[in-house]
Amino acid sequence: MLLNQRTIKRSGSISGIGLHTGSECRMTFAPAPVGYGFKFVRTDIKGSPEIPALIDNVVDIERGTTIAVDGVMVHTVEHVLAALAGLQLDNVRVELNAEEAPVLDGSSMPFVDLLQALGYEDQPEPKRYLEIDRTIVYHDEARGIDLVVVPSDRFRVTYMIDYQHPALGTQYTSLYDIEEEFARDFASARTFCLFSELQSLISAGLIKGGRIENALVIMDKPLDPVEIEELKKTFKISDEIKFSKDGILGEKHIRFPNEPVRHKVVDLIGDLALLGLPIKGHVLAARAGHAAHVELVKKLQKELQKKQLQKKYQVGASDKFVFDTAAIQRILPHRYPFLMVDRILELVPGEWVTGIKNVSINEPFFEGHFPDHPIMPGVLVIETMGQVGGVLLLNTEAKPGEKLVYFTGLDRVKFRKPVRPGDQLLVRVEMVFFRRGICKMKARAFVDDQLAAEAEMQAVVVDR
């Protein structure tokens, strides 16, 4: 497995039409410096704006992956990204003179061939990975989609598709070594669709560049004369409609017995590249597509953000908690006797956080509240919830050490159970709304799995 980042040795170009827009596009791969990542550059627009290939820039996943920044778009980037990631490149500039990458033969292979011809150059910085150390799951019950990532010492994929039609049926494939297998066994697998899907794609304004040469159209129904004429018009066929022995439009043959599911692996690799760095983990996928891939990458991004925060604040990793007290003091400005959080157990940045407060008889407030019947003041239970929420909120900021959280409102505050010395207060805070430094959070505090208090909290992030 590669240890250092790498780019390409020299620039090279390739041209073709876009699958969905039908636009002619000349695309150039160029070397890029360490830490650059993958960026698409629209050279046909004044100023040549850059669109980093990152999950936050995904704006559409209708039969492909579209990224954009400030309204400047690049459509159908997944096959290009698959070639870059599949060849284990890290930093490449991709220049285009149109809004959609060329589809070419519908696979990643033309890009792979070009990139291999351009050669690779190792760079003097270590390659970064997201190492998966816990199971991450995306599940869509309604559509029967499952994506699971489990720990592994390298990137692996096991993929299944299950179409309710004999033209495709159920297909499986596995990739165990991306360096050995991607270019040889997966990159040439072409994009595909069922004939019955064509009309909806056309009605949606897609596949304007669709040709027999750049996609597998799998015939899943007999054609009537009207459909034949429509098909010839769509794919610009002037001669008689022909089919391969495999039931594919045009006289072409499948490249692998399970070519469609292999192409799904190509799409997955391209979509995973939107994380910004490769993963070490085994992806198990069933009946997924671009939309599900993107949702999985969002989950992986949260895991990456958590690990980056741990690396920044936590000295010594642990699988039992995210932050200890020393790390919490690097994040929050509170100190004795008003630091009310002992550990952060779980954290999904921007979504929710779980923390604990161990309530000791030595707490200074018990001296007066109450000497003969010690109970933690309700206002301090709320303060504990607020501080746990502060960990979640401040880490939405680039430089949390330079910020403070001011709470501006409390709603629906209820105290359900007294908190006494010896109790452990477990607090869970969920982000309800956050925009431009203003947020709303929902907090609950538990003792021995019983709800002790709850509240809705409004807050604002300000400079220290």
8 neighbors 29 (Cβ within 8 angstroms): yes
Q: Rounded CA gap, 224 and 230, in Å?
A: 10
- Cα 240 to Cα 194, 214, 219, distances in angstroms: 20, 19, 16
Query: Strand 12-17 relative to strand 24-31: parallel, antiparallel, unpaired?
Result: antiparallel
Q: Rounded CA gap, 275 and 97, in Å?
A: 25
Question: Which residues face 414 on adjacent strands?
Answer: 454
Q: How many CA atoms lie within 13 A of 264 on its CB side?
A: 27
* Alpha helices (H) along 314-355: 325-331
Question: Which residues face 100 on adjacent strands?
Answer: 75
Query: Strand 58-60 relative to strand 66-69: parallel, antiparallel, unpaired?
Result: antiparallel
Tell me, yes or no, if 75 is annotated catalytic. Answer: no
List the Cα angle 323/327/333 in 5-degree steps: 120
Question: What is residue 118's three-state secondary structure?
Answer: helix
Q: Which of 75, 79, 282, 290 is catalytic?
A: 290
Give the count of beta carbons closer than 10 Å to the beta carbon of residue 163.
Answer: 15
Tell me, yes or no, if 253 is annotated catalytic. Answer: no
- Cα 236 to Cα 176, 209, 336, distances in angstroms: 40, 10, 75
Question: Per the structure block, which two tokens stand in for 227?
Answer: 């459909």
Q: What is the DSSP string of 198-213?
A: HHHHHHTT--TT--GG
Picking from 341, 366, 456, the residue whose alpha carbon sits closest to that of residue 418 is 366
355 neighbors 334 (Cβ within 8 angstroms): no
Q: How many residues does the chain have?
A: 464
Give residues with Cβ within 8 angstroms of 37, minimum separation 6. Answer: 52, 53, 54, 90, 91, 276
Query: Strand 145-151 relative to strand 136-140: parallel, antiparallel, unpaired?
Result: antiparallel
The residues annotated with a catalytic role in the active site are 290, 369
